[in-house]
Amino acid sequence: MDARAGTPAQPSDLIDVDQVVGAYYDLSPDPDDPGQQVAFGTSGHRGSSLDHAFNEAHIVAITAAIVEYRRDQGTDGPLFIGRDTHALSRPAWQTALEVLAAAEVDVMVDARDSWTPTPAVSQSILLHNQTRFAEGTPGLAASGAGLADGIVVTPSHNPPRDGGFKYNPPHGGPADSAATGWIADRANEILRTGVGQVKRVSLDTALGSDRTHRHDFLSSYVDDLANVLDLEIIRASGVRIGADPLGGASVEYWGAIADRYDLDLTVVNPRVDPRWAFMTLDWDGKIRMDCSSPYAMASLVQRMTGGADGSTGPAPFDIATGNDADSDRHGIVTADGLMNPNHFLAVAIEYLYGGNRPSWPSNAAIGKTLVSSALIDRVAGGLGRRLLEVPVGFKWFVPGLLSGEVGFGGEESAGASFLRKDGRVWSTDKDGILLALLASEITAATGRSPSEHHASQVERYGTSWYARVDAAATREQKARLGALSPSDVTSTTLAGQDITAKLTEAPGNGAKIGGLKVTTADAWFAARPSGTEDVYKIYAESFVSAEHLTEVQQAAKALVDEALA
């Protein structure tokens, strides 16, 4: 924990925007250096131009690879492209347009020449494709003909120096491993052979092309929200909402939502600054737009729970919310403070499945990633609903959301989406705006805040203690961790309790989890390698005590170290 965590950023913490953007154009990656190659994690390629990890050559190569991939898949409809507010996002967006236009791809760009949240890109793809799905097989395309796909230029909540680039195929959600693996491999081939061979046109030519079209992402998304949320009950109840975009792509969307639905909604921070000078520092002293972090959200939390001078008084809003830079994550703040993402997911699930979405399929499962809280398991059991537990990555929820077999899919990192009121798909990517508004719907419909609902769940299902820690690991050790089998764990107990399961495959779909999960009656841990750093992550939870959680974490590290030895 950095000593300055939760305090306002200082001038020395800020990036030099000109330097970061200049490095994008001036520096070239070494195609033989793994740290400078194209690598797709759980959500796209990310890196900094200053580290030779996100430069013009990368975007030329990735875009060219996407052009080839979509052509091989028969995807010949329009490509919807959006970007967030990071300094590197507009340069990368421009580079991508230059390559796409030269390849004669029909491209849909924002009509306002502005920022576009990730969920708005997903929603637009799905609306375009909804009439092109094969009859009788919801969400499954008969062929690629006429189908749209998309690109989102964003590193999500990453620090201001970073850039990110992700591909969403015609199902509207994050591309699966087969697609990203192919794209990354082909992009790295292009890096090695030379990006100068990739055809490009000038930006002016690209924007003036008859294959480049203006699309009103904002109106498409905002007007459609009434089909997934009960916005009328929010308006009628007068719930006071404070929305903090954290300088991200949702900044203009929140104002439009307030106007369109006549909500008592205040955009508490309308500023956009690629340096994010207005942020408070995250746990490690970095500027990071993580709306699930009490340190990054310190200003909004303080506004809801007490003045800067320590004074107290009524909260200015009934619900306050935050989003990350591309608005695919949510942070929920009540008068009790910032909610743990796991706690809000559990509250959202109980509300949605507890009679407030009567037109949803009666067999619609509850989706969670295997590192999300076991409180969700207990809530699902109380509701009598099937639980679908999948590996880390929102891509695993895409098939179920498309077909209606999954009503809600959520990740412990504060990302989730759910079905429209009529049971059809809304988005197949995470939607932070949607979940933030759901918090207001819950408050309006029940007269109780989400944190009050969580207190009720604790009374019924018990208190849990949950945390994630990182441990150092070499690339070789990370590779071994990803290849572990249950037999590699020889211990029969964990922190004083009998081990009930040793998992290297997700119970919901049988997919490899790229690590290990061990469970007992009252606790569990999961260990998985980081895709970008030389560490592995240990997620752990205990329904016994905070001290027991510490025991679980220590035992987990010992078990993993033994297995990796």
Q: pLDDT tens-digit profile of 89-102?
A: 999 999 999 999 99
Q: How far, in Å, CA of 292 to CA of 323, rounded?
A: 9
Residues 434-493: tens digit of each pLDDT: 999 999 999 999 999 999 999 999 999 999 999 988 888 888 888 888 888 888 888 999
Q: What is the mean pLDDT of residues 61-68?
A: 98
Domain boundary residue among 217, 245, 260? 217
**Is 440 part of a structural domain of the chain?**
no
Of 217, 241, 264, the residue that ends a domain is 217
Beta bridge partners of 541: 466, 524
The answer to whether residue 166 sits within a structural domain is yes
The answer to whether residue 32 sits within a structural domain is yes
Residue 140 burial (CB count, 10 A)? 12
β-pair type (265-267, 319-323): unpaired
The active-site residue out of 48, 122, 156, 250 is: 156
Give the pLDDT score at 136. 42
**Of the ranges 195-199, 309-313, 365-369, 425-429, which one carries the lowest mean pLDDT score?**
309-313
Q: Under a CB-based contact definition with an 8 Å cutoff, are residues 438 and 453 in contact?
A: no
- Read off the CATH number of the domain in which 198 is found: 3.40.120.10
SS3 per residue for 417-450: EECCCCCCCCCCCCCHHHHHHHHHHHHHHHCCCH
Rounded Cα distance between 196 and 205, Å, is 18
Model pTM score: 0.95
Q: Is the pLDDT of residue 141 over 70?
A: no
Write down the mean pLDDT value for the chain. Answer: 94
Per-residue pLDDT at 78 exceeds 80: yes
Q: Is 156 noted as a catalytic residue in this protein?
A: yes
pLDDT at residue 562 tops 60: yes
Q: Which residue has the higher pLDDT, 311 or 544?
A: 544
Cβ count within 10 A of residue 551: 18
Using alpha carbons, select from 168, 239, 204 the residue that is nearest to residue 438.
239
Q: What is the pLDDT of residue 135?
A: 46
> In this structure, is residue 380 part of a structural domain?
no
Reported as a single tens digit per residue, the pLDDT across 493-541 is 999 999 999 999 999 999 999 899 999 999 999 999 877 677 889 999 9
Helices (H), 238-374: 251-261, 298-305, 341-351
* Interval 545-557 mean pLDDT: 95
* C-alpha separations of 309 from 91, 131, 295, 306, 336 in Å: 42, 57, 18, 8, 18
Rounded distance between C-alpha atoms, residue 562 and residue 554, angstroms: 12
Report yes or no on 79 lying in a domain. Answer: yes
Q: Is 109 helix (H, G, I), strand (E, B) or coil?
A: strand
pLDDT band at 307 (very low <50, low <70, confident <90, very high): low
- pLDDT tens-digit readout, 204-248: 999 999 999 999 999 999 999 999 999 999 999 999 999 999 999
Distances (CA, A) of 525 to 215, 504, 537: 45, 12, 10
Does residue 78 sit within a domain? yes
Domain count, the chain: 2
Note down the domain range covering 73: 15-217
Residue among 556, 485, 540, 558 nearest 515 (CA): 485
DSSP alpha helix (H) spans, 292-374: 298-305, 341-351
Q: Tell me if 57 is assigned to some domain.
A: yes
Helices (DSSP H) in 291-330: which residue ranges?
298-305
Tens of pLDDT, residues 245-280: 999 999 999 999 999 999 999 999 999 999 999 999
- Whole-angstrom Cα distance, residue 41 to residue 177? 9
- Would you say residue 70 has pLDDT above 70? yes
Contacts of 59 (CB under 8 A, 6+ apart): 92, 95, 96, 99, 165
Return the sign of the alpha-carbon dihedral for residues 451, 453, 458, 461: negative
Res 322 pLDDT > 50: yes
Q: For a pLDDT cut of 90, what percent of the chain falls above it?
A: 86
Query: Which of 217, 252, 276 is the C-terminal boundary of a domain?
Result: 217
pLDDT at 17: 98
**Looking at residue 469, which CATH number applies to its domain?**
3.30.310.50
Domain-located, residue 490 = yes
Q: Span 60-70, mean pLDDT?
A: 98
